[in-house]
């Protein structure tokens, strides 16, 4: 592995939550043209997108979603409380109703300019299998769900989450069961009290690409690598 440390004035940053990733860089201001030139010889570019990536599409970030005051059964719900596996286990229907509100907002959103720049990647995201060799959705994808029975192979079947109209129609129940093992279906989302994992989110692949291959990192809609999987 090539060491990219340049000179003494280069600042060494160590990510606290992920101490095995060492980033050394000397902050510089680049014009778009200079940035493009600097990237020209790079072979393994990683584009890390955060939740502000979709802000221009009208999709609220997880935190600002609170301001939308999602009301379920007369109670205003706090996203930090609801988006937890423990809450999902205890109040499955409320959690799904909360997610359904978010899906309704999601359906009204359109790709923004940044999405169009990464159009090829977007097309891969919209394919039925959310995992591709080039896109790692390490926080999951609300468009999919899978069964909660970890011991059975069927937990790896990713089923489309019903749309808001399907949710409303009478033949689709809000809380769904796996058609193979009858276990509860859960959203393909990393809840706030869950850890990144390889099984569902290919988090290890994303980390290994970053550690072993990446020679250029572009951050879009996020500011640092805090919390990146290890």
Per rule CB under 5 A, is residue 76 in the interface with Zn ion?
Answer: no
- Report, in Å, the least distance between residue 36 CB and Zn ion: 27
Per rule CB under 5 A, is residue 149 in the interface with Zn ion?
Answer: yes
Nearest residue to 122 via CA among 49, 219, 210:
49
Nearest residue (CB) to Zn ion, 24 versus 61? 61
- Report, in Å, the least distance between residue 154 CB and Zn ion: 3
The contact mask relative to Zn ion for 167-206 (x = CB under 5 A, - = no) is -----------x-xx-x-----------------------
Nearest residue to 147 via CA among 195, 182, 196, 192:
182
187 contacts: CB under 8 Å, gap ≥ 6:
96, 99, 140, 142, 144, 145, 161
- Report, in Å, the least distance between residue 146 CB and Zn ion: 8
User: Strand order of the sheet with strand 159-160?
Assistant: 159-160, 140-147, 185-189
Nearest residue to 70 via CA among 86, 83, 85:
83
Single out the residue of 154, 159, 192, 219 in contact with Zn ion (rule: CB under 5 A).
Answer: 154
The residues of the shown chain that bind Zn ion, judged by CB under 5 A, are: 139, 147, 149, 154, 178, 180-181, 183
């Amino acid at each position: 592995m090539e060491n990219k440390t340049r000179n003494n004035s280069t600042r060494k940053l160590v990510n606290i939550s992920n101490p095995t990733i060492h980033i050394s860089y000397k902050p510089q201001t680049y014009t778009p043209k200079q940035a493009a030139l600097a990237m020209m010889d790079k072979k393994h570019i990683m584009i890390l997108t955060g939740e502000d990536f979709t802000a221009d599409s009208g999709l609220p970030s997880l935190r600002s979603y609170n301001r939308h005051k999602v009301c379920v059964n007369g109670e205003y719900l706090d996203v930090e409380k609801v988006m937890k596996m423990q809450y999902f286990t205890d109040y499955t229907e409320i959690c799904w109703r909360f997610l359904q509100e978010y899906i309704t907002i999601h359906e009204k959103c359109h790709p923004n300019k940044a999405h169009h720049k990464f159009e090829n990647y977007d097309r891969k995201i919209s394919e039925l299998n959310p995992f591709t060799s080039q896109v790692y959705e390490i926080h999951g994808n609300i468009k999919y769900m899978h069964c909660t029975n970890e011991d059975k192979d069927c937990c790896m079947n990713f089923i489309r989450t019903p749309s808001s109209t399907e949710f409303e129609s009478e033949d689709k129940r809000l809380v769904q069961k796996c058609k193979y093992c009858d276990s509860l279906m859960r959203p393909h989302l990393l809840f706030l009290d869950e850890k990144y994992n390889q099984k569902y989110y290919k988090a290890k692949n994303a980390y290994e690409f970053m550690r072993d291959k990446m020679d250029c990192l572009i951050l879009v809609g996020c500011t640092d690598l805090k919390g990146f999987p290890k």
